[in-house]
Structure 1
Amino acid sequence: MGAVVLDVQTGAAESFTEHLLRALGALTTEPAVPLTRLRLTGEGRPGAGTTACAEPHPQAPRAVPDHVAEHARRSPGATALVYGGAQVGYAELDHRVGKLAAALIEAGVRPGDRVAVRLARTPDLLVALLAVWRAGAAYVPLDPDYPVGRLRLMIEDAQPSAIIGTPVPGTGAAGTVVLAPDAAAPVPERWPRIRPEDPAYVIYTSGSTGRPKGVIVRHENLSALFTAFDRELSGPPAVTVAATSVSFDISALELFWPLTAGRAVLLTGHREVAGEDVPTGALYQCTPTVARILTDDPNGRRLLGRLGTLLVGGEQLPRDLADRLDSLVPGEVLNCYGPTETTVWSTVWRVRPHVPVHIGHPLGGEECLVVDPHDRPLPPGLPGRLLVLGAGVGSGYWRRPDLTADRFREYDGRPAYDTGDLAVLDPEHGLRFLGRADGQVKILGQRIELAEIESVLRAHPAVRDALVTVASDGATVTACLVPASGGPDPCVPVPAPPGQAEEIRRHAAASLVPAMVPAVWLLVGELPQLPNGKLDRATAGGWVARAMPSRPGPPDAEPAGRALDAVRLAWERVLGVPVADLDTTFFDLGGTSAGLLRVLVLLAERYPELTAAELFRRTTVRGLARWLDAPTGGADTPDTRPAQAPARGASRARALGQWRRRTERSQQRHP
């Protein structure tokens, strides 16, 4: 008989032998021990089921406003913020923060309160967030682009004592003070003390009950994150690009970490970043979806070619994109992982050419465990549920003790968070992400509860029941609806009539962020079930796959020189509804950035000159069709050249000028 040769790494073989001997030893010495209590890893051996030991976080960490004040004293003229080509120094920033914080205190804001911030991305936004902290409160970010219905739910739940910026229509919260971003008052003799254990912000994420849930993160969590990145990257670079909405927690790293070291923040947005004058060596972070758009655009590639560090995260990083980014970015490319509940990022992995993508090893001060259903640590190579322990674990969910108890817990005497993610530990490269163990998904970097979408859809009077899935492209939410009356054959789904689909889409868009609004609508007589009575999402996914195009081919041919029909057909295929208004933007119709990439794929064969950047510049059917029909083959002409960039530049200049005038008036009133 021939010998069987196994190709096994030495470390894996040694680990397997150790675990087998440990199991046999436990079974022979304690024959009555339940198998569920049998641990394969050694007690106190961190390398067996974890990827790093927790390091102590800084003693008596300082809050960000204290860092800003110190830099204002030491280097008053040093640049703190760059916006629209203009610079704001630390002294000017600190002065505005102090005046607004004083106005908050005068209005009745007290330590421990929550203050909602609803402002556009101008210097006022950074001033407001820092002022909330200096007043001793926690900020609740309200993205102005979010649906009013969703903002109402957040306001009702957070119960802020004040709102900076534009109030949310229809809230009418009694006792809630509304302040303009240029509000000012005399500075108090002593500021409230910001304790490390005080809440820094409450950020709302998708909730399974149909209402968003607020995650509480403390100042000491942020301090530990900044310290960890100080060690990981040897401190922030001279300029960090801040392009992320403050409703996403990763904005905290790019907005505040540079300020702790006296460095500069370049305030912009992901749609504008490729046109910014980003200096060589800057740090930028984004989702893989945004990164792929940049790699397809000449300006985006120029931006990537200037970066000293690129952080990508929020979604799984495809291998091909990792290799492309590694070839374009002269500095390091880090794949980052971390739930909102564990403060921005918990692990990092430096991208290496032709190596399977991992999420890597924990940041300093944190620890990650891969455990089985009985919370026993698993050895390397065995997949399990991922727990994050240590300095980044937040305080729980605002006013949700039941959900907090389910996800936040103590593990071996340390604070831990059950991520619900599945992972496996590779001894060399660290953790590898495998997917979710529950109904959460990631779309465009947003962690989404499918149950929340289903709950919103069931609230429509025409819907008796709903099941939501994500299409194979990972970016398209699809809905299977059981009508309140009538309906098709139980086992034969049919596309929803366009009018009905549009009505329900508008209902959903009133309270869900764009990435959560379904783009494909199917009517079914009954939702599919497994033998145990649970919903059969796999069968529903098959229905959706058959309803969507089997391959992303180009739309049907259009008359020569007329791109209008081709563009409209591509939009309708991606959005899942008829497009009648040719002058409404793709995003106003419910589209997403990932949806635009699908439009690009559909049109690429017929219009090879079309890039993702052009799609973002021309977001209406008519505007894009005119550009494609231009005699120069897609080049700009005097009639088709987009006016958005100059208008945006003028808008920024006006905003910065107004901000400086308010600063001067404030200094005159309250020197």
Structure 2
Amino acid sequence: MIEASPFQHGMWLTERLGIAGSAYRMPLPVVFDGPLDRAAMLRACAAMLIRHPILGCDFDEVDGVLQLRPDGGGHFDYSLVELAPQRHLLRFEAHHLVFDGTSKDILLRDLAKAYAGEQLAPLGFSEPEPGDVALAKHYWAARWREPQEVVLPGLSGQVRTARAGECFDFELAHVKFDVLFAALQALLTRYGNAEPVIAIDLGTRTPATQDAIGLYVNELPVFPGDDLRELYQVRRVPISQAVSGLSPRLAMAPVSISYRRRAPDVTFHGLSAAVDWMAFHGTARNALHVQMVDDGTTIQARLHFDPEAIARPYVEQIAQEYLGEISALADGVPYAGKVSHLAGPRREYPGPQTVHELVTQQAARTPETVAVTGTTGTLTYAELVASAGETAAALRERGIRPGDRVAVRMHRSPDLVAKLLGVWLAGAAYVPIDPDYPASRQSLLLSDAAPAALLTEAGIVQLPGGARNPEDLAYVIYTSGSTGRPKGVQVGHGSVVNLLHCLRDALGAGVWLATASYSFDMSVPELWLPLISGGTVVLAGEQETRDAEKLLKLIRGCAVTHVHVTPSTWQRLLEAGFDEPGVIAIAGAEALPQPLAKRLRGCSAQLWNLYGPTETTVWSTMARLDGATVTIGRPLPNTDLHVLDGQLRAVPIGIAGELCIGGRGLAHGYLDRPALNEERFVPTEWGRLYRTGDRVRLLADGQLEWIGRFDDQIKLRGYRIELGEIQSQLLDYPGVRAAAVVADPELTAYVVGPVEGLKEHLAQALPAYMVPSRFLSLAALPLTPNGKLDRSALAAAPVEQPAGTAFTGLAEQVYQVWSEVLGRSDIGADDSLFDLGGHSLTVTRISSRLRKRGLAVPLHVFFDHPTISGIVAAIEQP
């Protein structure tokens, strides 16, 4: 029995954890053309087991120590198949425990000699030369940190265990490895990785082992700024021996590269041989692995990837951009690839360029058609325009002139719509003040807006007024401000007209349900799109907006054709029994969860997902959702979208960045907020753009995927976490109807639905640092008056820490084993094994001794819960 090398032990432990799949299988197919002597070839193959006895070894664990057992069956197979006359396939497959890339060269070289009849002497076992562990510990103490999750085009999930993989092949002319590596670093940086970490394979062979088959390679991470020459000095020490508490893993970084200069082609007597040096084992072991084999003139390259995490079109893009970076580095010029820009179709809408002119024009065509109906009455188009005209005249009598601002504080009714139209007919812009707002907020908005008049149910109140606006201003709608002071967004008629024409072309007119407060910009298309198109507005009353069953009754009773509400409201409508095949369902203002979209598609005529901030006039993108994927679609006509990084540079396709919007929908800016205007409405090479603060990425099919808010991206214990990703996984759990996650200070999940089993569900899809500490069930998530999630209203109770486990019963037995193996007695119930000096070899020894006591503990538990209390809990778990 021979003790395995530390490299073999680490690989064996990873396999024992069940995360390797077929990642460590190394196939080597050779196709021979010519008169092959089958018996001689099989004898030559058998001779390889004598020449290299490690190929016939098995591995046994003895008291936690991994040992090689000769003649144990081995991890090496071969088969010879006749494909056609004079054509044969010889396929070798070896386990990485006994084989590496250079072993392929050695195997074929010795095979050719044996096939020619040469007698080859056995080489015996060649152990790797041990490294300087103290030097390695010093080296990694200053450098090691857990690599951040990688950013790649189109990457939808991180690969943490072996999965069925695919590959994409390409070739390039011979260049030095330092260029290949630097180009990969540059590419990852271009993709937005601030600290790109790349794992590389380093050979550990010495002159004494240059002819030996075996495992003589060590994968180590390279951090930004690392000197490869210094890393080379510690290549003979597995990083698990140098970094305490490092859990076994298939790859040392989310992106890895292996490069080797292969030996010259081998000649087989009387045969031509075609070797597949790049044969793929069919497993993706991380987000992206770059495999390269250099024959001195050409480099064969292959990208290994998980098709469930990243689609092939994005991998092809990565390959093209990698080649571009290599060429640019070789030529000494910067590389510019495709970037994320989307321009909506250019359309002109002749005719009136203000909303009130469009409404009065429509009223002339259909004067007797019902324009607006609600619980307090109904107005035809003729009555609507007549009432609005009276309001406009009254405003003019009080000195209101074009460009003035007029505040409107009224409850939802047909008369409200007439008053808003009257403000426009007077040439003024309306400022909505919801009467349900607290009195203090109403006063704050009136003070900030400084309107020239206030319209209420009781009449018109003349006010001192403020500075005049551009004459085409339609409204000033206030949105929440991060500082607590609301922001008044000034939107012009031209922007509103463009929006209404775009939506009418896509969605059509009809009977539109209006549920949004008119102080919320979702009210703009609900009120005015039908009224410029000959349709009808059905105003939901306060009771209907609060009671989904009553709202559904209103939809059915008024034969509503278009329902335009937030996903939160859609959830309530579905729970009330919404199933209306004749209704066009329109969602917006919040992220639309995929499970909710699936349900809506099945009970409506069409499902549309709209996106846009108030600052770009309600909606800027739209997507008709027919398949399983939820996107925010493409830009509206006359709208430009740009996905930019923090320096306002365009990012590559498939990479997340900030959505910046330009075009006709752009607002004039914030009222009397010059500093904020300068911050959010920025001049760029593409013109004036609004910075949304939303994280999106442009997909390969030209649609936009909404990822989340930049302010929803948090860092917890050094890890970058997207709260939206956790919420998405929560919504995938059966019975969960709504979910929200906050970090205050630890991750807490609030769900509408059951919490039992949620932690285990998330643990299967997310890393441990993304699994919330607490799960709280609520009857409903709190909403703002506009129907959006009210995060500030979510309770944030302090997290209770579990008490430690006393050393009695099972804990006493676990303690005794730890004490024996670690050689110390000062061990607490919640002390980390790795903080006490443990490592992967320690784990196998402890596991072995616990098994002798009849206590079976899965190896992964030692890394997931490396404390005595954690081990005890795992043993006691049924």
TM-score band w.r.t. shorter chain: 0.5 to 0.7
Which position in structure 1 is the counterpart of 2:538? Answer: 266
What letter is aligned with 1:295? L
Query: How far has the Cα of 1:344 moved from its partner?
Result: 0.8
Query: How far has the Cα of 1:398 moved from its partner?
Result: 0.6
Compare the two structures and name the one with the higher strand fraction: 2
- In 1, Cα distance between the equivalents of 2:446 and 2:484? 15
Which position in structure 2 is the counterpart of 1:651? Answer: none
**Residues 386 and 420, structure 1, Cα contact 8 Å, conserved in 2:** yes
What is the 5 A alignment of 1:5-404? Answer: 6=304, 7=307, 9=311, 11-28=313-330, 31=333, 39-41=336-338, 48-58=339-349, 61-84=352-375, 87-165=378-456, 175=464, 198-233=472-507, 235-236=508-509, 238-269=510-541, 270-271=545-546, 272-276=550-554, 277-280=556-559, 282-298=561-577, 301-302=578-579, 304-307=580-583, 309-329=584-604, 331-353=605-627, 355-404=628-677
For the residue of structure 2 that corresponds to 1:540, the secondary structure is: coil
CA shift digits 1:548-604 (9 cap, x unpaired): 999389xxxxxxxxxxxxxxxxx997799xxxxxxxxx999x998979xx99xxxxx
**Residues 516 and 786, structure 2, Cα contact 8 Å, conserved in 1:** no
1:408 aligns with 2:685: no
CA shift digits 1:479-523 (9 cap, x unpaired): xxxxxxxxxxxxxxxxxxxxxxxxxxxxxxxxxxxxxxxx99xxx
Which position in structure 2 is the counterpart of 1:540? Answer: 745
Which position in structure 2 is the counterpart of 1:560? Answer: none
- In 2, Cα distance between the equivalents of 1:470 and 1:151? 33
- In 2, Cα distance between the equivalents of 1:550 and 1:240? 36
- In 2, Cα distance between the equivalents of 1:107 and 1:174? 10
- In 2, Cα distance between the equivalents of 1:137 and 1:52? 32
Q: Which moved more, 1:269-278 or 1:118-127?
A: 269-278
Query: How far has the Cα of 1:268 moved from its partner?
Result: 1.4
C-alpha distance 161-328 of structure 1, shift in aligned 2 (>3 A)? same
- In 2, Cα distance between the equivalents of 1:259 and 1:243? 16
* TM-score normalised per structure 2: 0.46
C-alpha distance 71-419 of structure 1, shift in aligned 2 (>3 A)? same
C-alpha distance 239-124 of structure 1, shift in aligned 2 (>3 A)? same
Query: How far has the Cα of 1:70 moved from its partner?
Result: 2.0
Which position in structure 2 is the counterpart of 1:563? Answer: none
- In 1, Cα distance between the equivalents of 2:526 and 2:552? 17
Q: Which has the larger radius of gyration?
A: 2
For the residue of structure 1 that corresponds to 2:519, the secondary structure is: coil
Query: How far has the Cα of 1:82 moved from its partner?
Result: 2.0
Query: How far has the Cα of 1:546 moved from its partner?
Result: 11
Query: How far has the Cα of 1:75 moved from its partner?
Result: 2.5
CA shift digits 1:378-407 (9 cap, x unpaired): 222211111112111111111001111111
What is the 5 A alignment of 1:380-529? Answer: 380-428=653-701, 430-438=703-711
**Residues 40 and 378, structure 1, Cα contact 8 Å, conserved in 2:** no
C-alpha distance 56-23 of structure 1, shift in aligned 2 (>3 A)? farther
What letter is aligned with 2:473? P
- In 2, Cα distance between the equivalents of 1:294 and 1:260? 28
Query: How far has the Cα of 1:231 moved from its partner?
Result: 2.7
Where does structure 2 lack aligned partners over 5 or more consecutive residues?
1-25, 28-278, 283-303, 715-722, 729-739, 758-775, 795-878
**Residues 707 and 724, structure 2, Cα contact 8 Å, conserved in 1:** no
* TM-score normalised per structure 1: 0.59
RMSD (CA atoms): 4.0
**Residues 371 and 537, structure 2, Cα contact 8 Å, conserved in 1:** yes
Query: How far has the Cα of 1:102 moved from its partner?
Result: 0.6
Q: Which moved more, 1:75-84 or 1:141-150?
A: 75-84
**Residues 326 and 352, structure 1, Cα contact 8 Å, conserved in 2:** yes
Query: How far has the Cα of 1:347 moved from its partner?
Result: 1.1
For the residue of structure 1 that corresponds to 2:318, the secondary structure is: helix
Query: How far has the Cα of 1:64 moved from its partner?
Result: 1.9
Query: How far has the Cα of 1:22 moved from its partner?
Result: 4.1
C-alpha distance 280-105 of structure 1, shift in aligned 2 (>3 A)? same
C-alpha distance 161-546 of structure 1, shift in aligned 2 (>3 A)? closer
Query: How far has the Cα of 1:414 moved from its partner?
Result: 2.8
For the residue of structure 2 that corresponds to 1:381, the secondary structure is: coil
**Residues 471 and 541, structure 1, Cα contact 8 Å, conserved in 2:** no
**Residues 369 and 387, structure 1, Cα contact 8 Å, conserved in 2:** yes
Query: How far has the Cα of 1:472 moved from its partner?
Result: 8.1
Query: Number of residues paired by the alignment?
Result: 444
What letter is aligned with 2:357? D
Which position in structure 1 is the counterpart of 2:217? Answer: none
For the residue of structure 1 that corresponds to 2:711, the secondary structure is: coil
- In 1, Cα distance between the equivalents of 2:752 and 2:567? 24
Query: How far has the Cα of 1:204 moved from its partner?
Result: 0.5
- In 1, Cα distance between the equivalents of 2:532 and 2:420? 15
Query: How far has the Cα of 1:438 moved from its partner?
Result: 2.8
- In 1, Cα distance between the equivalents of 2:503 and 2:678? 29
- In 2, Cα distance between the equivalents of 1:126 and 1:470? 37
- In 2, Cα distance between the equivalents of 1:137 and 1:339? 23
- In 2, Cα distance between the equivalents of 1:150 and 1:156? 10
C-alpha distance 72-593 of structure 1, shift in aligned 2 (>3 A)? closer
C-alpha distance 433-394 of structure 1, shift in aligned 2 (>3 A)? same
C-alpha distance 379-591 of structure 1, shift in aligned 2 (>3 A)? closer
**Residues 228 and 365, structure 1, Cα contact 8 Å, conserved in 2:** no
What letter is aligned with 1:20? Y
What letter is aligned with 1:229? L
**Residues 643 and 698, structure 2, Cα contact 8 Å, conserved in 1:** yes
CA shift digits 1:259-280 (9 cap, x unpaired): 1112211111433422214554
**Residues 365 and 390, structure 1, Cα contact 8 Å, conserved in 2:** yes
C-alpha distance 174-241 of structure 1, shift in aligned 2 (>3 A)? closer
C-alpha distance 552-88 of structure 1, shift in aligned 2 (>3 A)? farther
- In 2, Cα distance between the equivalents of 1:24 and 1:281? 59
Which position in structure 1 is the counterpart of 2:62? Answer: none
Query: How far has the Cα of 1:253 moved from its partner?
Result: 0.3
Which position in structure 2 is the counterpart of 1:551? Answer: 755
**Residues 398 and 462, structure 2, Cα contact 8 Å, conserved in 1:** no
C-alpha distance 406-28 of structure 1, shift in aligned 2 (>3 A)? farther
**Residues 392 and 425, structure 2, Cα contact 8 Å, conserved in 1:** yes
Q: Greater RCO between the two (CA within 8 Å, min separation 6)?
A: 1
C-alpha distance 380-547 of structure 1, shift in aligned 2 (>3 A)? closer
Where does structure 1 lack aligned partners over 5 or more consecutive residues?
42-47, 178-193, 442-468, 475-518, 521-536, 554-570, 577-585, 600-671
- In 2, Cα distance between the equivalents of 1:345 and 1:591? 16
**Residues 566 and 788, structure 2, Cα contact 8 Å, conserved in 1:** no
